[in-house]
Amino acid sequence: MMNFVATAAIAGIAAVVLVANLQGAPLPSETTRAGATLIDPKTTASIKVQPTQQPSPAMRMIDLRSGATCRIVKPDDLTEEFIAAPIGPDCQRSPALERVAKWRQTPDGALEMADDSEQTVLRFMPGDGVLYESIYPSEEFVTIVSANG
């Protein structure tokens, strides 16, 4: 009986050693494993990282009701004070956008567009998947997306 236990123990230890060796040799410390793929940092570090391009300050406003779209450039220094909004003639197809004359950025991150008398025409909040989504007035559906190009 003792021979059987000793034989079973030796067979178990041999199986563990065999399975450990089948899983592969230990990896050098400078190599990492991602899933089933070995990543060699010397190779991946040789690929130059492309500098990220700055997003264009140009934006495209889209009136989802009228289908009007127009391009506008957001200045870097947009503040809490209303300044002239460079709305182009291509915005004239939108009843809401054609009234916009000024805009400002509020402390909460909203973008507010107003008429000549600084009465709010549209108010936008940062959007999900778009730069901004209109939140005021509720019957207007205008989004602002990045105008790349």
Question: What is the pLDDT, as a whole number, of residue 97?
Answer: 92
pLDDT value at 88 more than 70:
yes
Task: Give per-residue pLDDT as tens, 90-109.
Answer: 888 899 899 999 999 999 98
Distance from C-alpha of 23 to C-alpha of 118, rounded to nearest angstrom = 71
Task: Give per-residue pLDDT as tens, 6-26.
Answer: 787 787 777 766 666 655 555
- Asked if 143 and 130 count as a contact pair (C-beta separation under 8 A), the reply is yes
C-beta neighbour count of 130 within 10 angstroms:
15
Question: What is the pLDDT, as a whole number, of residue 114?
Answer: 96
Q: How confident is the model at residue 89 (pLDDT cuts 50, 70, 90)?
A: confident
